Amino acid sequence: MPQIGKKTLVIVTRRLPEAIEARMMELFDTRLNEDDHVFSRAELQDAMAEAEVLVPTVTDRIDSDLIQSAGKNLKLIASFGTGTDHIDITSAESQKILVTNTPGVLTEDTADMTMALILAVSRRLTEGERKIRAGNWEGWAPNALLGQRIWGKRLGIVGMGRIGQAVARRARGFGLTIHYHNRYRLPEGFESELGATYWESLDQMLARMDFISIHCPSTPATYHLLSARRLRLIQKGAYVINTSRGHVIDEAEMTRLLENGDLAGAGLDVYEHEPFINPKLLSFENTVLLPHIGSATLEGRIDMGEKVLINIQTFVDGHSPPDRVLPH
């Protein structure tokens, strides 16, 4: 725990909302990343050698080697983000370094983006927008850019946590019927509220849906949960939507299925090897590709920053931070 009367040294790896940075400067001895560049591994190592609290983001890979070489003063990694797969939690625990995240504040924003992708890919919105910008639109025609109606279609949600449930609530308003696969079945009251049908077998659900939307946490168990075999179960006219983590899907197989016309389309906000994106995905007309902005609202970022502040201040005050992350 930091010494009483001495401001805690906090090093932040990326620029945060102005209001959050200002409050952080008031409360702590804060060093900001003024030009917002991505920290190199060497810069991360230097920061961890000096800081008492490190505030990284989900793009900072903090592995066991970095944690083992951290300075003796580093006691808290207060991550700005919900996911923690970029931090070796077990190694941090062994070094008595606490790790926190910012859960629960991105639910509505990510659910909104999921619905935007469902509509954009099925109604070919970005194709039409590109045609307008290229000067290739010659006016209305009966058969131009025909998409698929979503009303009455089946939506299969893979992972019915907070975000999955928020998507289900929105999707019902668009007339989609809700189906889901989860590690455990929701209480009957939740199913009734969401009008949701539970599938114990992911394979069986995938084979019967018009839209598949991925909302899994990032864990070793969810790596390629939608494997090549499972992707081939999805019916030919279906769409895949992913706003969770890229490595949940076997991206190479999904790309092949899209190329061969075995999937109707894909709406993606995350990628298996981001920021690299498979060039073939970029070439397809039936993909809507976004740069990992599912949670990118000003309100959401401020909410995340406030959670970071609370976690740090609680730690400085000698208590366990509310959003502490423990090893699996």
Q: What is the mean pLDDT of residues 201-228?
A: 95
DSSP reduced 3-state for 43: helix
CA–CA dist 189, 192 (Å, integer)? 5
Residue 129's pLDDT is what? 96
Residue 64's pLDDT is what? 96
CA–CA dist 218, 292 (Å, integer)? 15
- Please report which confidence band the pLDDT of residue 217 belongs to, taking 50, 70 and 90 as the band edges: confident
**H-run or E-run covering 196:** strand 196-198
User: Are 107 and 163 in contact, with CB atoms under 8 Å apart?
Assistant: yes
Q: Give the C-alpha distances (Å, rounded to integers) separating 4 from 7, 153, 316, 318.
A: 8, 60, 9, 10
Percentage, residues of the chain above pLDDT 90: 93
- Please report which confidence band the pLDDT of residue 220 belongs to, taking 50, 70 and 90 as the band edges: confident
Output DSSP code: residue 34: T
* Closest to 88 (Cα-Cα) out of 132, 44, 123: 44
Domains, the chain, ordered by start:
9-105+298-316 (3.40.50.720), 107-289 (3.40.50.720)
State yes or no: pLDDT of 54 exceeds 70: yes
pLDDT digits (tens, 9 = 90+) for 5-52: 689 999 999 999 999 999 999 999 999 999 999 999 999 999 999 999
Q: What is the mean pLDDT of residues 249-272?
A: 97
User: Are 288 and 276 in contact, with CB atoms under 8 Å apart?
Assistant: no
The chain-wide mean pLDDT, for the chain, equals 95
Task: Point out which residues pair with 62 in neighbouring strands.
Answer: 87
Percentage, residues of the chain above pLDDT 70: 98
- Please report which confidence band the pLDDT of residue 218 belongs to, taking 50, 70 and 90 as the band edges: confident
Instruction: Give catalytic residue positions.
Output: 245, 274, 292
Residue 273's pLDDT is what? 94
pLDDT digits (tens, 9 = 90+) for 229-241: 999 999 999 999 9
